[in-house]
Amino acid sequence: MPRYVFCVFLCLCIRFSSVFGVDDADTDTNTVQFLLKEFQSLRNRVSVLESFIEKQTEIIQVQNDRIVKLEAIVKSGRFNEDNLEELNYSLGDIEGGADQSRDNNTKTNPLEVDRQNTPTSFIQRKASQERKLKRGVRPAAVQPIAFYAYMSSTLNNPGGHHTLIFDVTDTNEGNGYYAHLGVFMVPKSGTYFFSWTMSLDSSSYHSTELIVNTQAHGAIYISTSSSKRDCVTGNLILKLKEQDEVFIRTSDDYNFNEIVSDAYSRTSFSGFLIA
């Protein structure tokens, strides 16, 4: 780069010598001073360009490192948002330094490089796009935990302390509900909402309760007349630990006749993680 500046300076000397009609021996003082100013201006411009090229070289190196790391992550099958965040962080540090360096040169050097007329490099465009994407990235959504199941048929006179089997599962996000047991096994500690609905035929009554492990936490009771069926729903919110078992069973007494579940009214059990 210094050789380039010297050659430019030499060309300017020849050019202005011819313009002013003087040779090397009798170049006047004003011409020499003018050429020296032009030479200093060129040196300043070259200094700015050298700094810019140095930072671009650093960015290219970081980009190459990111490509190698991303290829390794993709091959291993362990790609996630944390990997992308970490790699973007390294790139952002280098780019920030490059931007600051250009800003500093602009403040101290009147001969700023005209960025508006300078084509934007591919790397600069990609870096800008990735910064925008990074700002817009949201944390990965938490795996939902929710279930809904119902009894496939009517249960006749189940008696006391009988676990109800809700054998048809419509929803089981998080795979915490076991339809063959009628039990929801808590996949993750947290606060949960539960709801269960009992549907009874005419001339029936039943009391049911929600059990966590061996402890009852809620109960509902319903009694129907001789002329119609009816239903009732119980709701509650519980703070539970991982591996706690939640299920519905009939109470010790107050149980008589059928618990209905058909296309007209379902006896069901549902729940989901709140937080």
Residue finishing a domain among 82, 108, 136: 136
Q: The domain containing residue 102 runs over which residues?
A: 2-136
82 and 150 housed in the same domain: no
Residue finishing a domain among 95, 118, 136: 136
179 and 256 housed in the same domain: yes
89 and 161 housed in the same domain: no
Yes or no: say if 165 and 180 are a contact pair by the CB < 8 Å rule: yes
Alpha carbons 147 and 93: distance in angstroms, whole number: 45
Which tokens in the block code for residue 140? 């990965």
Residue at 42 is within a domain: yes
Bridge partner list, 147: 172, 271
CA distance to 146, 147, 190, 197, 266, per residue, from 179 (Å): 14, 10, 22, 16, 16
Residue at 217 is within a domain: yes
123 and 7 housed in the same domain: yes
Question: What letters, b where the CB count within 10 A reaches 16 and e where it falls short, cover 29-54?
Answer: eebeeebeeebeebbbeeebeeebee
207 and 117 housed in the same domain: no
Residue at 255 is within a domain: yes
172 and 212 housed in the same domain: yes
| The pTM of the whole model exceeds 0.75 | no
10 and 129 housed in the same domain: yes
CA distance to 100, 119, 173, 187, per residue, from 146 (Å): 50, 53, 5, 10
- What integer pLDDT is reported at residue 77 of this predicted model? 64
150 and 116 housed in the same domain: no
119 and 170 housed in the same domain: no
Give 212 or 122, the one with higher predicted confidence: 212
Query: Which of 170, 172, 158, 188 shows the shortest CA–CA distance to 248?
Result: 158
Choose the weakest-confidence range: 99-103, 159-163, 169-173, 225-229: 99-103
Choose the weakest-confidence range: 100-104, 155-159, 178-182, 233-237: 100-104
Residue at 214 is within a domain: yes
How open is the CA angle 222-151-210, to the nearest 5 degrees? Answer: 55
Spell out the residues 6+ positions from residue 162 whose beta carbon is closer than 8 angstroms to its own. Answer: 249, 250, 255
Strand pairing category for 183-185 and 245-256 = antiparallel
Which stretches within the chain are classed as H helix?
2-19, 29-76, 81-108, 122-136
73 and 24 housed in the same domain: yes
Residue at 141 is within a domain: no
DSSP 3-state of 199: strand
12 and 131 housed in the same domain: yes
199 and 269 housed in the same domain: yes
How open is the CA angle 230-236-237, to the nearest 5 degrees? Answer: 160
Give 33 or 56, the one with higher predicted confidence: 56
Number of structural domains (the chain) is 2
Which residue type sits at 263? A
Residue at 27 is within a domain: yes
DSSP 3-state of 28: coil
Which tokens in the block code for residue 121? 């490099």
CATH code, domain carrying 176: 2.60.120.40
Choose the weakest-confidence range: 118-122, 251-255, 269-273: 118-122
